[in-house]
Structure 1
Amino acid sequence: MSHILIVEDETIIRSALRRLLERNQYEVSEAGSVQEAQERFSIPSFDLIVSDLRLPGAPGTELIKLAEGTPVLIMTSYASLRSAVDSMKMGAVDYIAKPFDHDEMLQTVARILHDRQQVASMPAESSRSAAPAAGATSDDSVNGELGIIGRCGPMQDLFGKIRKVAPTDSNVLIQGESGTGKELVARALHNLSRRAKAPMISVNCAAIPETLIESELFGHEKGAFTGASAGRAGLVEAADGGTLFLDEIGELPLEAQARLLRVLQEGEIRRVGSTQSQKVDVRLVAATHRDLKTLAKNGQFREDLYYRLHVIALKLPPLRERGADVLEIAKAFLARQNERMGNDGLHFSREAEQAVRQYSWPGNVRELENAIERAAILSESEEISVELLGIDIELDPLDEDFDESGVPLGSAVSNEPTEDLSLEDYFQHFVLEHQDHMTETELARKLGISRKCLWERRQRLGIPRRKSATAG
């Protein structure tokens, strides 16, 4: 069981984070400051340290050198997100912005711990890690190299392209529906490139407020705007020598697109408020679920930037088109839950396996992972039933055999979504009715979901944010 140290001076946040991690089978210790952590614990003995950036006394970045190689995940608010760039330069393994989504925190922690296990096992070529990364596999040499499960034809084609493209410095555009694992593809491109030892900086363009996006990406000089009390480097600068991954690049404002185009054309950036340019060496990998070509024709995306990005385009198929991969990914996620919970006996019932194969999974890999995590936690026996998966599907007779693609022999399986339409209708009507007088935060709270989930559902259902709405 992995041992995690939380260093956070806000008792409420520290306690909530501890409960979240302990529910997911991590051993957790906590401290309110760097000094308390030093006095109470041997800091290098932990598997991961999660620390707030701003702490009484010494800042959270002090833990990076005290950790002696143990990864440090920095938590920071949007107001101090620029400081996270400096944290990355000082050696933090990653940062996460407050308020964070629980799933985002768990996925980040799992990825960092998995990467640490892989590094630890490399010198001795020891046995493979028991906790695969999201969509990862350990029993196929090609997939294992890339860290992604995929035996179907479209995924094997994608693997071949990744291996050809990764060693180059060409810009790459990854296209695919939300939740298909586009960041996994970006990480595979980075890990197989000559830049693998340099940082890969991931940015969700839709998650950063529009008023902050330019200073976050390109940095700013002291006095560039109200509140800019000191100059700060941007995320592009933090990725110097490595890879910059821009997720949902279709949401990037036109002004920021113009600055990004300069990075690609000239290999240089100019901080907000500065007259001086500086050289940067970054490889850009972008991802989107939107049709950038159509957006460019409609004037919503710069056409010259589109062609710069579209040097290499990789298409990630939705889960419903990946045949038998679905069940293999589901079993990998269940193996991860078994490892977290210290229980190797959890398994799917025959009906549950059939449901996993037949359901269309409109939320793709992310929806599948969440369904299995929920089922594993709620299961009162070692067999996970179809009811625990929480999906609405009418199963075919169980005596049918399935082909290697997971399709029942002798019958046609509909690929139509089987969501509860009344719930989606309720969501759509509620958002349209209230978004003029509610912030995004208020809408999410009323719906009982995170802001990230609200954004993803907007994208899936095609509900744009009103321009006049107050930013949440």
Structure 2
Amino acid sequence: MLSQISSPDSQATLLPVKKKILLVEDEVLFARAVVKRLQKAGFECEHAESLHDAKLLIKQFEPDMALLDMRLPDGNGLDLLSDMIAKNINVIVMTAFGEVTDAVNAIKLGALDYLKKPIDLEELLLIIQKNEKTTELQTSLAYSRQRDAVINESIQLIGESAAMQSVRQQIGRIAQLSSLSDAVPPTVLITGETGTGKDVVARYLHASCINHDKPFVYIDCASLPAELMESELFGHEKGAFTNAVASRPGLIESAEDGTLFLDEIGELPLGLQAKLLNVLERRMVRRLGSTKERPVLARIIAATNRDLYQMSSEGRFRSDLYYRLNVITMQMPPVRNRGQDILLLANYFRQMTEKRYALPHHEFDASALMAIQHYHWPGNVREMRHQISRAVLMCTQPVISAQALGLPQASQVAVSALGASDAPMTLEDAEKAMLLSALEQARHNVSKAARILGITRMTMRYRMDKHGISSV
């Protein structure tokens, strides 16, 4: 933890907060030595000689940790232990020879550790530091799991198109397989254009499986520094390389029996592809500088916006790794091919932005709906989320127009098409007007008009035939 102090002559400086330790001990000379040593080590320390004094100091001092003697003038330390545990105070008990039973009972009640008297001060300090680090790790882990639980609960797959229904069915089947057997989960490869929501599907799959309360470890293979990539993935032992001052588990190992998500797997260098293949085949990982292998229990999901088959044919991606990853493949459709899902997504992002920033309700007008439906969305869901959020944040009117969306070309066509007449216009009429306007801008070049609207030439032809529009 850090606290901030400031002075008139200097900027705020961050200093570590001292951990508070309460020593409950009736041997005064020993207690003074302990207090002095702990203060020298950077701890804030208070001393109580009895249970009565300790209870008062707990209220006033609010310690993080307590060193608790078992035999005190006014009772047994066990009488105070439960109150300390209830107040989230980490307790280390101190026992004399012949009081081992008390120590065992204390551990059962929730004490972190125990020490036998006589106690060496340096050993005491090491025990305190070890337990302090363990507590911090447990707190961090608990926070991470709470955070992941909240994220998992908020994950949604928006859309009712056939493509999205297929994705949901595949996720349901994979989750079902995981619940039926303790066997190693099959590897899943998620493909699709950038921004289609591959990471959302990976999290949704994790949240749908029986081990959803386990870690979800996200690895962006494209952003890992080349010189640290191997160490980050596989971990290292102390002294494995120049700056390896301590042992550290890799991200693969950190996934435990949860989910390991390898995003942009196509960016992984060939040398590491061979090592990853070995992990997938043998389900074992070995840290750099270690001879010990550790089991890999996590479900492995990989994602890419590249054509791995083509890359493997060109020698840029290992074919054996591609075949090993390609056990179950899920194809994420681009937004432009998701039909009415486009409007569902737009309204979802509008509502989420309004909720996040406590904004009043907005609506899309006809021109905005036309622009949203006919824009090509090259950045897919990611681009749509940012465009809709920006429009909602910047719009001062209750109705969002195509111009407010700021989409190139498609919104301009929508405005010109819908603005040609003040009379009420049906959706069919609006679409026909947009097609005619685009053709006029393109001088009846169908391909160019399709590009203006952000649709394919085939779609343009289909809609022209639907409305009886000739290209001549």
* Band the TM-score falls in, shorter-chain normalisation: 0.5 to 0.7
Kindly state the Cα deviation for residue 193 of structure 1 after the two structures are TM-superposed. Answer: 1.3
Deviation digits for residues 349-402 of structure 1, max 9, x if unmatched?
A: 221122111111100111111111211221122222222222112435343525
CA distance change for structure 1 residues 261 and 415 in 2, over 3 Å: closer, same or farther?
A: farther
Kindly state the Cα deviation for residue 410 of structure 1 after the two structures are TM-superposed. Answer: 11
- Of Structure 1 and Structure 2, which has the larger fraction of its residues in helix? 2
In structure 2, give the amino acid aligned to 1:188: Y
Q: Distance in 2 between matches of 1:400 and 1:299?
A: 54
In structure 1, give the amino acid aligned to 2:197: G
* Paired residues of 1:175 and 1:182 also in contact (CA < 8 A): yes
**Partner residue, 1:278:** 294
Q: Does 1:231 align with 2:247?
A: yes
* Paired residues of 1:351 and 1:385 also in contact (CA < 8 A): yes
**Partner residue, 1:90:** 141
**Partner residue, 1:363:** 379
Deviation digits for residues 179-234 of structure 1, max 9, x if unmatched?
A: 10001111111111122111111111001111111111110111111211111001
CA distance change for structure 1 residues 9 and 157 in 2, over 3 Å: closer, same or farther?
A: farther
* Paired residues of 2:370 and 2:431 also in contact (CA < 8 A): no
In structure 2, give the amino acid aligned to 1:116: V
* Paired residues of 2:188 and 2:326 also in contact (CA < 8 A): yes
Of 331, 340, 355 in structure 2, the residue corresponding to residue 315 of structure 1 is: 331
TM-score of the two chains, using structure 2 as the length reference: 0.59
**Partner residue, 1:165:** 174
Q: Distance in 2 between matches of 1:185 and 1:355?
A: 27
Deviation digits for residues 215-255 of structure 1, max 9, x if unmatched?
A: 11110111111211111001111101011000000001112
* Paired residues of 1:400 and 1:409 also in contact (CA < 8 A): no
Q: Does 1:395 align with 2:396?
A: no
In structure 2, give the amino acid aligned to 1:360: H
Q: Distance in 2 between matches of 1:253 and 1:8?
A: 42
**Partner residue, 2:321:** 305
CA distance change for structure 1 residues 342 and 221 in 2, over 3 Å: closer, same or farther?
A: same
**Which runs of 5 or more structure 1 residues have no equivalent in the other structure?**
1-5, 12-30, 39-56, 69-85, 95-110, 120-131, 134-146, 420-472
CA distance change for structure 1 residues 208 and 90 in 2, over 3 Å: closer, same or farther?
A: same
CA distance change for structure 1 residues 410 and 352 in 2, over 3 Å: closer, same or farther?
A: closer
Kindly state the Cα deviation for residue 309 of structure 1 after the two structures are TM-superposed. Answer: 0.4
CA distance change for structure 1 residues 87 and 333 in 2, over 3 Å: closer, same or farther?
A: farther
Q: Report the secondary structure of 2:236's partner residue.
A: coil
Q: Percent identity?
A: 39
**Partner residue, 1:353:** 369
Larger radius of gyration: 2
**Partner residue, 1:200:** 216
Q: Report the secondary structure of 1:281's partner residue.
A: coil
Q: Distance in 1 between matches of 2:355 and 2:395?
A: 15
**Which runs of 5 or more structure 2 residues have no equivalent in the other structure?**
7-12, 21-41, 44-63, 65-84, 89-136, 178-184, 419-424, 439-448, 455-472
Q: Report the secondary structure of 1:272's partner residue.
A: coil
In structure 2, give the amino acid aligned to 1:278: R
Q: Distance in 1 between matches of 2:450 and 2:351?
A: 27
* Paired residues of 1:361 and 1:417 also in contact (CA < 8 A): no
Kindly state the Cα deviation for residue 307 of structure 1 after the two structures are TM-superposed. Answer: 0.6
**Partner residue, 1:218:** 234
* Paired residues of 2:206 and 2:216 also in contact (CA < 8 A): yes
**Partner residue, 2:352:** 336
* Paired residues of 2:5 and 2:15 also in contact (CA < 8 A): no
Kindly state the Cα deviation for residue 339 of structure 1 after the two structures are TM-superposed. Answer: 0.8
In structure 2, give the amino acid aligned to 1:191: A
Q: Report the secondary structure of 1:179's partner residue.
A: coil
Q: Distance in 2 between matches of 1:32 and 1:375?
A: 39
Q: Distance in 2 between matches of 1:277 and 1:409?
A: 67
**Partner residue, 1:116:** 150
Q: Distance in 1 between matches of 2:147 and 2:428?
A: 37
CA distance change for structure 1 residues 34 and 197 in 2, over 3 Å: closer, same or farther?
A: farther
Q: Report the secondary structure of 1:91's partner residue.
A: helix
Kindly state the Cα deviation for residue 91 of structure 1 after the two structures are TM-superposed. Answer: 3.0
* Paired residues of 1:167 and 1:192 also in contact (CA < 8 A): no
Q: Distance in 2 between matches of 1:339 and 1:34?
A: 37
**Partner residue, 2:91:** none
CA distance change for structure 1 residues 358 and 410 in 2, over 3 Å: closer, same or farther?
A: closer
**Partner residue, 2:304:** 288
- Of Structure 1 and Structure 2, which has the larger fraction of its residues in strand? 2
**Partner residue, 2:198:** 182
* Paired residues of 2:152 and 2:204 also in contact (CA < 8 A): no
In structure 2, give the amino acid aligned to 1:149: I
Q: Distance in 1 between matches of 2:144 and 2:329?
A: 28
In structure 1, give the amino acid aligned to 2:141: M
Q: Distance in 2 between matches of 1:171 and 1:408?
A: 47
Deviation digits for residues 111-164 of structure 1, max 9, x if unmatched?
A: 959x63986xxxxxxxxxxxx65xxxxxxxxxxxxx201111111122111211
**Partner residue, 2:264:** 248
TM-score of the two chains, using structure 1 as the length reference: 0.59
**Partner residue, 1:25:** none
Kindly state the Cα deviation for residue 32 of structure 1 after the two structures are TM-superposed. Answer: 5.9
* Paired residues of 1:296 and 1:303 also in contact (CA < 8 A): yes
**Partner residue, 2:93:** none
**Larger RCO, structures 1/2 (Cα 8 Å, 6+ apart):** 1
The aligned length equals: 311
Q: Report the secondary structure of 1:287's partner residue.
A: strand
CA distance change for structure 1 residues 118 and 288 in 2, over 3 Å: closer, same or farther?
A: closer
Kindly state the Cα deviation for residue 287 of structure 1 after the two structures are TM-superposed. Answer: 0.2
**Partner residue, 1:153:** 162
Cα-Cα RMSD: 3.8
